[in-house]
Structure 1
């Protein structure tokens, strides 16, 4: 029986993966905001044939844009599990504008990079205890190597959605360099090939709202169909870093000093979280 941890596991593709792993007989820890959505997920998994899913599932409520919630959840996961086979980093909350949390940090940077960094590093020994550990990071792969502003990681001076998105995507590829210092670990940066029918949770602009309301129901993939390539990658992991759009492998974009940039990113995040 594998132990699977999924952030953002109560909705969309995260929920589809959670249901799959419950049907497969795995232990599943779901991190999310809504207990009601988690209860609905359990009911759906049971209706799909999962045996006693409630006995193998755990819900951890959290807002992962907050440092305190990340630390609390990671501590609880460490208390409950000696081994984690699969870590899926799928939490999402889209913000078109810069938003500062109650802790004084930029919310998107915290959610889409710092939280993932904390899960990867804070659970590293639990992943190392697994035979064939896998991390799936649903950060869409492929962006330019110079996308990170190391002097202004929270983009206080020049925030735009596109700039923030590019920086987060590049940072998550660098996070894979840090994660795969465990030579047995498979780190997959993955994004769906096509539009997916999901809630597009967050504060979205008019174009994204129109897409979610009108276009996605017509042409979007069902989340369960969208994650089938991820399931295959989890079930047959290949150590090292890789990037995929759907089932198609995408080339990682090398920079002039990826190792140095990964170290620089780690130092910056550690300074941020330690005050």
Structure 2
């Protein structure tokens, strides 16, 4: 039985993955903000297989807070001897800069810092797996210069596009750190091939929300369909770093200072 940890596992692709692995009789740890959504997901599965409840657990957390991410790591380490698959799927879209009670920019923490804390914090448990895999749902392909190391939290200038690009690039570089720590790890930066139907959780304007609704109705795929490539990759993961759009492998973006930039990020996170 595998142990699968899924952040953002109560909605969208995260919930679809949680449902899939529970149906496959794996042990699943769901990290999310809504216990109500988790209970609803579990009730639907338990109607067909009551044993599902014995294999599923929930950790309530707001991963835009670093203290919450560290608490999640400690709870997982206290309850489990091994993690086979870590899926980083938590999402909350913000069009404007938002500072948390910890004094950090919420999107940067949620979409990168929390992923860094979970990936590095669970290194020892992943190392005990025969085929350790991290699936980081963060569309690959951001440009090399996307990170502003002098303004990681976008204090001077915030835009959704700039923030998104910086997070995506940082998550690709996180793979360097993760695979150095564990050479047997499969670290997959993954994005869907096309739009996925979701509840679109976030603090966004009406234009973005309406655009999402319209495009979702016309062109979006169901989460259950979108995750099929992830399931296939987890079943037979490539060792090392790799990037995918849907089922298609795409080139990793290489810069002249990738290793230095990765360790520069690691040094910055120590201040959180």
Flag whether TM exceeds 0.5 (same fold): yes
Match of 1:70 in 2: 69
In 1: Cα distance, 2:126 partner to 2:13 partner = 22
Does 1:140 find its partner at 2:139?
Answer: yes
Structure 1 range deviating more: 208-217 or 100-109: 208-217
1:195–1:220 CA contact under 8 A, matched in 2:
yes
Unaligned runs of 5+ in 1: none
- 5 Å-filtered alignment, 1:178-257, equals 178-181=177-180, 182-257=182-257
Does 1:127 find its partner at 2:122?
Answer: no
Q: Shift of residue 68 of structure 1? A: 1.5
| Structure 1 length-normalised TM | 0.96
Deviations, residues 130-174 of structure 1 (Å, cap 9, x unaligned): 010000000110011010000110010011111100000000000
In 2: Cα distance, 1:218 partner to 1:164 partner = 27
In 1: Cα distance, 2:10 partner to 2:29 partner = 11
Q: Shift of residue 51 of structure 1? A: 5.1
In 1: Cα distance, 2:199 partner to 2:102 partner = 26
- 5 Å-filtered alignment, 1:33-48, equals 33-47=33-47
In 1: Cα distance, 2:68 partner to 2:127 partner = 24
SS of the aligned residue for 2:134 comes to strand
Deviations, residues 63-98 of structure 1 (Å, cap 9, x unaligned): 000112111111100000110000000000000000
Unaligned runs of 5+ in 2: none
Deviations, residues 88-118 of structure 1 (Å, cap 9, x unaligned): 0000000000000011110000100000000
- 5 Å-filtered alignment, 1:144-159, equals 144-159=143-158
Q: Shift of residue 208 of structure 1? A: 2.3
Q: Shift of residue 50 of structure 1? A: 4.4
SS of the aligned residue for 1:125 comes to helix
| Structure 2 length-normalised TM | 0.97
In 1: Cα distance, 2:87 partner to 2:45 partner = 18
1:141–1:169 CA contact under 8 A, matched in 2:
yes
* CA spacing shift, 1:239–1:161, aligned 2, 3 Å: same
In 2: Cα distance, 1:51 partner to 1:212 partner = 36
